[in-house]
Amino acid sequence: MTDDAASADRRVRTSFAKQGLMRTLGARLAKVTPGQVEIVLVPNPEVSQQHGFVHAGAVSAIADSAAGYAALSMMPVDRGVLTTEFKINLLAPATGERIIARGKVVKAGRTLTLAQAEVFSENEGKERLIALLTATLMAIEGRDGIAD
Amino acid sequence: MTDDAASADRRVRTSFAKQGLMRTLGARLAKVTPGQVEIVLVPNPEVSQQHGFVHAGAVSAIADSAAGYAALSMMPVDRGVLTTEFKINLLAPATGERIIARGKVVKAGRTLTLAQAEVFSENEGKERLIALLTATLMAIEGRDGIAD
Amino acid sequence: MTDDAASADRRVRTSFAKQGLMRTLGARLAKVTPGQVEIVLVPNPEVSQQHGFVHAGAVSAIADSAAGYAALSMMPVDRGVLTTEFKINLLAPATGERIIARGKVVKAGRTLTLAQAEVFSENEGKERLIALLTATLMAIEGRDGIAD
Amino acid sequence: MTDDAASADRRVRTSFAKQGLMRTLGARLAKVTPGQVEIVLVPNPEVSQQHGFVHAGAVSAIADSAAGYAALSMMPVDRGVLTTEFKINLLAPATGERIIARGKVVKAGRTLTLAQAEVFSENEGKERLIALLTATLMAIEGRDGIAD
């Protein structure tokens, strides 16, 4: 791991550990490289909607975090990020052994960064695309105590 | 309460009670009328992001459920709904005493229904708009065991 | 008309006249009040898609302009706006005697403004909602020659 | 060119020629392969917004057509498509020698197809990503005279 990669990894892991929602959902930070982040959620009744699938809100939560952390991993150290908007297309019910959200930066800008997350359902070693999220993140510089 | 209102209320409450995620988040179904649904969430560390605000994923989850149940409340009884996509604009950090998501149907169609949810932060009796969600719901008729 | 209304009207009309695309589409600025703007397009073969309906791109163009000008009408005079993203739901084919896009500001912020536009199809004096657009506009202050 | 490719090419070209808006904008169908379509627009005052950039509505129009035709190129011959919603992020002003929209299918479904279009600005042989569109297309089977 290069210094940059190690530093991005540490930065994202420290911040992720502060996200109470990720712990509550049972989501796990699987991989971090600069510009790319993977979050994994194991389906269970505590994150379900009424038909037993993983709730769109839980899918969105890990996809938003994956996209947001991909953006954060490329930010100067004195800047945090806030999601200003996202759009998610839900392509198939979220079921299976694991739900995997992979976030990546599409374009990093001074004020706004565009990131995407693909969400896969994994079953018997095979992955299937179940959702696609596109998010705009705003860089926040030392405002209102907002950092990583 | 009219028969229609009572029936919509019962239908939505029964389904909401099956959403494990709503229970896990501590979200509560506050009001149901045909075409309109209100869900309330009290901010707490279990639904937070890294700065202590309510996570965009939790805001999205209650907004999506509010919009989806607004749609369900107007569906014929043999049909359920699934969210196929939503877009959310996050206008201000989700903080305060209560987060209130109010869903309503914009246009009900045979296959697709468009619904919106406004999300407010309530503090000392005053409400402030913090998010706006627009969702497309697909009507599902007795497919794959999907009902209310 | 108050001074504010007259000034917003003049400002938006002057800018609208510079939008070559609006002229090319045959779109007309119908009403301007601070925070609200109406643009009208008469369906014709020059703005059609393959089935003869008005093309989603033309519907989006007038809806985006209506939302953007609603935002501009509330900006301090030294600031312009640029659309950073929008989402449009197309609810019914765009046909009829007139297509009317009504933009309004949902929340005006220092950097970002959220606006919406409802698009109606008018026929024999009756209006029908055919599209809903939500747009984020960014305030631009004297940058790169961008003004109204 | 395989039979499938030739047939997709012919089908898309025939339909594109019926889109009055594309002709009005001066947009040109550059490439068609099954699941991928490229449309090119040369910036000019007739498609501009008030600062002289290509209007977001014109960018959206070619991106929506590129995404929609990517979807159509993979549809059974008795089915057409209609855009039900799209979201576009505008990353940089649309200027340059050519604006190129490249649409591709993300996931083709029985009722709904998800497609994306990346839009590039080309200058002195170099491309720069200026917009990203995500669209949902609905398959239409012999309804209301809607075909290709």
Provide Rg for chain C, Cα atoms.
15
For residues C37 and C35, what is the distance between their CA atoms, to the nearest angstrom?
Answer: 7
Kindly identify which residue of chain C lies nearest to residue B107, measuring between CA atoms.
C91
Q: Is C123 on the interface with D (CB under 8 A)?
A: no
CB contact under 8 A, B138 and D112: yes
* Average pLDDT value for residue range C114-128: 98
Q: What would the two tokens of residue D148 be?
A: 């290709």
Q: Which of A84, A89, A107 to mutate to probe the C interface, most C CBs <10 Å?
A: A84
Q: How far apart are CA C11 and CA A40, in angstroms?
A: 51
**Probe site for chain D from C50, C59, C62 (most D CB atoms < 10 A):** C50
Residues in contact with D127: Cβ distance below 8 Å, sequence separation at least 6, in sequence order? D100, D120, D121
CA distance B31 to B39: 7
Any D CB within 8 A of A114 CB: yes
Q: What angle do CA A36, A23, B88 make, to 5 degrees?
A: 60
3-state secondary structure of B141: strand
Among D49, A147, A87, D88, residue whose Cα is nearest residue C140: D49
Dist CA A60 CA B42 (whole Å): 20
Residues of C in contact with A85 (CB under 8 A): 85, 136
C1-51: pLDDT as tens digits: 677 889 899 999 999 999 999 999 999 999 999 999 999 999 999 999 999
From chain A, pick out residues whose CB is under 8 angstroms from the CB of B86.
56, 60, 87-88
Query: CA B100 to CA C63: how far, in whole Å?
Result: 29
pTM: 0.95
Element holding D106 (H helix, E strand): strand D98-108
CB within 8 Å: B106 and C114: no
Can you tell me the mean pLDDT for D125-140?
97
Model confidence pLDDT, tens digit, residues A59-108: 999 999 999 999 999 998 889 999 999 999 999 999 999 999 999 999 99
pLDDT given for residue A146 in this prediction: 64
Q: CB distance B48–A82 less than 8 Å?
A: no
- Given a contact cutoff of 8 angstroms between Cβ atoms, the answer to whether B59 and B99 are in contact is yes
| Least CB–CB distance from A132: residue in D91, D129, D134 | D134
Instruction: Give me the interface pTM, i.e. the ipTM.
Output: 0.94
* CA–CA distance, A32 with A43 (Å, rounded to integer): 22
> Least CB-CB distance to C91: which of B87, B114, B132?
B114
Cβ separation D138–B84 shorter than 8 A:
no
Instruction: Dump pLDDT digits (tens) for C122-144.
Output: 999 999 999 999 999 999 986 65
How many Å lie between the alpha carbon of A142 and the closest alpha carbon of chain B? 12
CA torsion D35-D38-D39-D42 (nearest 10°) is 170
Q: Mind listing the pLDDT tens digit for each residue in D62-85?
A: 999 999 999 999 998 889 999 999
Residue D2 pLDDT: 78
Asked if the model's pLDDT at residue A144 lies above 60, the reply is no
Question: How would you classify the pairing of strands A79-90 and D28-33?
Answer: unpaired
Q: Is C60 on the interface with D (CB under 8 A)?
A: yes
Whether residue D136 and residue B136 make contact (CB cut-off 8 A), yes or no, is: yes
- Min Cα distance A136 → chain D (Å) is 8
| DSSP letter, residue C4 | H
Tens digit of each residue's pLDDT (9 = 90 or more) over B104-119:
999 999 899 999 999 9
- Chain B residues within an 8 Å CB radius of D111: 111, 138
Which among C87, C112, C138 has the least Cβ separation from residue A87? C87
Query: How far apart are the C-alpha atoms of C104 and C114, rounded to whole Å?
Result: 9
Asked if the C-beta of C143 comes within 8 angstroms of chain D's C-beta atoms, the answer is: no
Contacts of B107 in chain C (CB under 8 A): 91, 129
In eight-state DSSP terms, residue D46 is: G
Closest CA to C129 of C31, C58, C63: C63
Residue D106 phi, psi (nearest 5): -90, -45
pLDDT of D100 strictly over 70: yes
What percent of chain C is modeled with pLDDT above 90?
85
Tokens coding C2: 């108050």
- Confirm if C97 and C122 have CB atoms less than 8 A apart: yes
Which of A57-66, B73-82, D102-111 is predicted least confidently?
B73-82
From start to end of chain A, where are the E strands? Answer: 28-33, 36-41, 79-90, 98-108, 112-123, 126-141
User: How far is it, in rounded angstroms, from Cα C106 to Cα C94?
Assistant: 24
Give strand pairing partners of B83.
B137
Residue A105 tokens read as 């930066």
